[in-house]
Structures are given as structure tokens and as C-alpha cells.
Structure 1
């Protein structure tokens, strides 16, 4: 790397003496002089003012020394980082997850990994399911917790859970006493949902299509907890996972929905990923955490 190829110039620039630099580098003075001559010829300028065997670094040589020293530092850091990444216990995993798992499921997986591998680094990113799938495919993330399951054989998949869907209603709603409900029963009411492109919105629209009803989304939020909070406020109804513990707000009731659709949740990763890598260790840790949860 550059730190090896041009380290001689930095030594010469610091000593400003051919003999002293050659002794430090353990090479003949003539060899060092030829290296300097070739470098100056390539650059088309002198880098030192000559005074016999003594040299004085000129402004052009000082500029080169400053830039080379900065480059050597960066290259040495890069080499150290590569060597660190070769050890999965001190490497990096880039973990993505959907917003709705940020309050409960993702933290459990993160905590389990940090406990198992305290010297490893973990970078986190939140987004919607479609974007997270694209990030894994584009090598911008290593592992993602998302929904729904992506198509194609280029990604691995570990099913985490299947969440049944429920109608989330204010506790004083006229249908709050029901044991089960169809979407058609509340289709005429204003809905609160996530924006278009989010998996929860896709499920709502898919179930509406299944039942042949039209719905009106009056309010949108990226966060399912906010959706549940708006239901409690009485401005509308929502379709939410029935078993998410962090959505069970006082003042809201969750009535199981009559539908074959569920929210399929899982971990994805690139199929060609090395199982012995740091992301591989993360997946092993996630499997252990999930087994304890089941």
C-alpha cells in the first residue's frame, strides 16, 4: 500500500539528508537518490533544494509530505479496519428493521447479539419493508427484520412470526363488544393507517379488495403506535396486528378480523452471505433469542 511505497519520501523529508535517510531505510544512498530522481521526474518538479548531501524541503515537497502523511494515516486505518473485519467477533453487522418493531422485537434481537458478541459493532437503520429489502439486495444492509417475505432465491428468510390482524376500535365504539369482525362492518368509517407502500397499508387494501369494499384513509402515520393512539382519540378506526404488546393502549379494543391474511414477519439476508461472518453470528444469536421467545 502507499504507506510502504512512499514511506521513504516521508523519512527523507523529515531528515533532509540523503545519508541519514538511507541509513534509516537500510539502503544504499545511490538507491535512495535514484528513487528521489524518479519521483521528481514523474512530478515534473524538484521537491528539495540541494546543498551537497544536505537537502532543504521546498514548498512543493512540503505540500507532498503533508498530503502523503494524511494519506498514510487513512490507509493504515483502512488496513486496520480490514483486519478487524476478518475477525467476526470484532466485525460489523448492519441491521435494518421496520418502524413497528423498534419498540419491542428489534431491541430484543440487538440486546441478544450485544450480549453474545460484545466486541462486535452494529449499525442500525429503520425503514419500510420494501426499502429494507432493497437495501439488503444492494449490500447497504446485512440483515433486515421486515414484512412481507420477499420473492426470489437471492435472499435467505427466517420466519419470526405471523401476526393475525385485528380491527382496532375505540373502547366506546358501537361494535367494541364483538368477538370477531369483518372489514365490511366498519368500511364506512374513517380509517387511520400507514402511508402507501407500508406493509400495514398493503394488508388493509388487500383485505378491502378481498371483501369488495371501499375504504377511506383519513389519517396517515409512519408509526403504528401513533395509529393506535389516534384510534383512542376517536378520530377513526384502524387495522393493526392483534398480538403486538406495545399497541395495546388503554381506551382501544382489538377485535380479531375475519380474514385469511396475516402479517408475515421474518429476517432476511443475502443468500451468498458467509455464515461465519459477523452478520452470520447475528443470525445465530437471533435464532437463539427467538427460540427463547417461542
Structure 2
């Protein structure tokens, strides 16, 4: 069976209409009808039920459609991988990242990389840290950017920097305007936090545990903007990443004086690294980048680094330019 006819079938299966499919494919209706007849003759079954001028994909057709789409997708991936081997600059890289990194780390890296390989394309997937790590493990994404370091012996962690954490409070709260606050002072406060599985929730739980109390979680969210909105509505306080003065998310934040009020962030990959040359080249760039500006204005307390991406020298996986 010709690849072209397989592509024609998937379009027909999507439209379930000979005329619409032929227009979309820019071929004649008789040509499409003959191609469908050849496929059905080869398989020995009809793939569509005919209802006057309409077609309805039957159970055989749905089964064949699923396999046809999978085969076409695999061929597309093969073409992309071959193109990447020939010219890494033209390849595609899939990145997963914790939602909070979508506001600064990922844009910073992509902006810088554009000057190195402007033809590289990227697929971006935001999510909870646990889901990002799982996607890396399953090979669904090439590189994941998470915090903190995941407990995963089958993956490689590339430390990139540290991000300062602070306390966000509602307007008019007793802590508002303080130069700093300690986590021990938060023990009686209702808190809002991201759901379990998010890196920021892990950092929140850790800080509370180190301060000797269990947080009173009033509400849970799945994204950082929602978390900020819940605090603004007066529903609790929250541990959040520090932001620069003037940024909307900096309003109502108080620096934390705890020496461990930061989280380590980095990249996570499979043990043998990404499969494509484009992803390996981007990874080599990420590991060597330094001096991404810190977003927190305050000087961190002793032992609490500001948000900085520093060079790392991974040695457990090969990287080729």
C-alpha cells in the first residue's frame, strides 16, 4: 500500500465525506474513491458504513485509523530525527518545565539560544514537577526543568542554580511591609499552596517542617497565578518564588529570613541523554550557560543564593555539538 493512500485514508476518516476530503487533499473524488476501494479490497472488509452521501467510520475503520495515524506519526518522527542528524540547527526539542519556570527560566534560555541556533524549534510542556519527571522517564520530552532535584536513580540531574523564596501575604495583613519574616512566625497562619507533586509544594512543606510545624493548608491550586490570586483574595498566605520589584507578583511579598528559604533547580534527562542531536546541542548550551540575571532584588541572607543559572559540567552522558 502506498504511503499516499494511507494519508488519503486518514483525511477521509477525519472528514467522513468524500467531497470534503477530496477538496482538502486536492484530488478528484473518483481518485479518492478508487483508493479507498483498493484499501478495503486488500483488507477484506469495509472501513466505512455508507449512509446516502455520508460515510461513517465503522469499528474496522476506527481500528485501521488508529494504526494508520501511529504509522504516519512514526514516519514523521523518523524524518525529523534524520533531519536533525544532518543539521542539528533545524531539529526540534521538547521541553517540560514546572509552571513557575515558564515565566522566566524557559524564556531566558530560549532567547539566548536563538543567537546560537535560530532554526531550532521547541515544543513546550508546563506541568507539575512529578509529571515532568515522568515524561522525561517515558521519553515523551527530551529535557525537564524542575525543582527540587527529583529522587530518581534512573535519571541524570544537572544543577543550574538556586531560586529565593518569600512569603506572599494579602493586603492589610499584619506581616505586610516587614523587612523579613521567619517561617516560625507563620505556624498559626492559614496557608494556600500548590497541590502535592509540584516542586513549590515540596519546598513549602520542607520549610514548614524545618520550622517545626505542619502547615494549615486552607486551599490547594495547580498553577502559580491561581496561588497568587487566592492570597490576594485573603484566603491565606503562601510561599512563592521571589520576584523583582515592580513585577505584579512582587506586591505583598515579604522576604523569608530562614537560611534555607530557597530551592535548587535544574535540568533532568534520561541516563543516556536525549536521543536527538538538536536536544543534545541545546542541553550542552544549557549546561554551560551562566549569568542569567537574578530576579530577586534583595540580597539573600547568608547561605541563601539568589536566582542565578551557573555552569554545570555533567559527566554521566555524552553531548555532541
Q: Label 1:133 to 1:274 Cα distance change in 2 as closer, same or farther (>3 A).
A: closer
2:95 pairs with 1:85? no
Residues 167 and 257 in structure 1, CA contact (< 8 A), matched pair in contact too: no
Q: Map 1:259-270 onto structure 2 (within 5 A).
A: 259-270=259-270
Partner of 1:283: 283
Residues 112 and 286 in structure 1, CA contact (< 8 A), matched pair in contact too: no
1:204 deviates by 1.8
Partner of 2:109: 109
Partner of 2:173: 173
Q: Map 1:244-255 onto structure 2 (within 5 A).
A: 248-249=248-249, 251-255=251-255
Partner of 1:37: none
1:237 deviates by 0.9
The one-character-per-residue Cα deviations of 1:87-136 (angstroms, maximum 9, x if unpaired) are: 32222211111111112211122233344223333211111111111111
Q: Map 1:1-294 onto structure 2 (within 5 A).
A: 63-64=38-39, 80-87=79-86, 88-152=88-152, 154-243=154-243, 248-249=248-249, 251-273=251-273, 277-287=277-287, 289-293=289-293
**So what's the TM-score if we normalise by structure 2?**
0.62
1:178 deviates by 3.3
Q: Label 1:79 to 1:67 Cα distance change in 2 as closer, same or farther (>3 A).
A: farther
**So what's the TM-score if we normalise by structure 1?**
0.67
The unaligned stretches of length 5 or more in structure 1 are: 5-58
Stretch deviating more after TM superposition (77-86 or 212-221): 77-86
Q: CA–CA distance in 2 between the matches of 1:195 and 1:213? A: 18
Q: CA–CA distance in 1 between the matches of 2:225 and 2:35? A: 61
Q: Label 1:110 to 1:67 Cα distance change in 2 as closer, same or farther (>3 A).
A: farther
Pairwise CA RMSD of aligned residues? 3.5
Q: CA–CA distance in 2 between the matches of 1:257 and 1:99? A: 25
Residues 190 and 218 in structure 1, CA contact (< 8 A), matched pair in contact too: yes
1:281 deviates by 1.4
Residues 95 and 144 in structure 1, CA contact (< 8 A), matched pair in contact too: yes
Q: Label 1:102 to 1:187 Cα distance change in 2 as closer, same or farther (>3 A).
A: same
Residues 99 and 128 in structure 1, CA contact (< 8 A), matched pair in contact too: yes
The one-character-per-residue Cα deviations of 1:138-175 (angstroms, maximum 9, x if unpaired) are: 11111111111123454333322212322222353223
1:246 deviates by 8.8
Runs of 4+ that moved beyond 4 A: 59-62, 64-68, 73-79, 243-248
Residues 225 and 247 in structure 1, CA contact (< 8 A), matched pair in contact too: no
Q: Label 1:272 to 1:174 Cα distance change in 2 as closer, same or farther (>3 A).
A: same
1:261 deviates by 5.0
Residues 93 and 142 in structure 2, CA contact (< 8 A), matched pair in contact too: yes
Normalized per residue, which structure has more helix? 1
Q: Label 1:78 to 1:281 Cα distance change in 2 as closer, same or farther (>3 A).
A: closer
Q: CA–CA distance in 2 between the matches of 1:239 and 1:60? A: 61
The unaligned stretches of length 5 or more in structure 2 are: 4-33, 44-67, 294-307, 309-321
1:194 deviates by 0.6
Q: CA–CA distance in 2 between the matches of 1:60 and 1:125? A: 38
Residue-pair matches, total:
237
